[in-house]
Amino acid sequence: MSAVAERYAAALADVAVAHQSGEAVRKDLASFIAVYSESADLRNALETPSLEQDLKTKIVQSIAAKMGLNDAVRNFVILIVSHQRTHLLHEIDRAFVSELNSRLGIEEAEVTTARQLSDAEKKELLSVLERRTGKKIEAKFVADQSVLGGAVVRVGSTVYDGSVREQLNRMRERLEAE
């Protein structure tokens, strides 16, 4: 991740935390980026050097009003456009989510299981992870049949491997060592 993207993300996180609007800013920034990514006309308008900055600002303000975007996001996008950094929007978004989560004590996790988990199972697993890490966990759940059973959970750089595949590998290693 570029240092420029991280600086912009940190500045936006400062504003979001100061106004206690982290979740709203996260959601609105992602919404704007989705619209920006899907619209070639919008990208062309905001990236064209020949268009005056005042017109670009009016375009962003109009879109922000129609989308009901948080003022911090609107102002941030105007800043990004004026500094010709729109090509960094996706990278800034990733850095912002990471920075905001860090400041709010939220840890991202990836949970891989052999089958899709029910909502109750997901909730129970998240509860166990939150107690174990002492942080709020936001998890992405993935089904992968090669796990065979159990779960593999990655929280930051820590991996909790309770899969049947790993248990079988450990058992094989013990038998080979004997």
Same domain, 117 and 134: yes
Same domain, 39 and 67: yes
Same domain, 97 and 115: no
Same domain, 86 and 17: yes
As for how many domains the chain has, the answer is 2
Same domain, 51 and 73: yes
Same domain, 51 and 137: no
Same domain, 95 and 150: no
Range of the domain at 129: 106-177
Last residue of a domain, one of 35, 70, 102: 102
When pLDDT is averaged across residues 72-77 and rounded to a whole number, the result is 95
Same domain, 87 and 154: no
Q: What pLDDT does residue 104 have?
A: 87
pLDDT digits (tens, 9 = 90+) for 19-74: 998 889 999 999 999 999 999 999 999 999 899 999 999 999 999 999 999 999 99
**158-161 and 106-113 as β-strands: parallel, antiparallel, unpaired?**
unpaired
Last residue of a domain, one of 39, 68, 102: 102
Torsion sign, CA atoms 97, 13, 7, 50: positive
Residue 3: which pLDDT band, with cuts at 50, 70 and 90? very high
3-class SS of residue 90:
helix
Residue for token digits 């992968």?
144
Last residue of a domain, one of 102, 125, 152: 102
Same domain, 19 and 91: yes
Copy the structure tokens of residue 137.
């966990």
- Nearest alpha carbon to residue 42 among 25, 27, 26, 63: 63
Same domain, 96 and 28: yes
Residue 178 or residue 43, greater confidence: 43
Q: What pLDDT does residue 133 have?
A: 84
Same domain, 10 and 95: yes
Same domain, 29 and 96: yes
Q: What pLDDT does residue 76 have?
A: 95
Residue 13: which pLDDT band, with cuts at 50, 70 and 90? very high
Q: Is 1's pLDDT higher than 70?
A: no
Arithmetic mean of pLDDT over the chain: 90
| Rounded distance between C-alpha atoms, residue 159 and residue 101, angstroms | 19
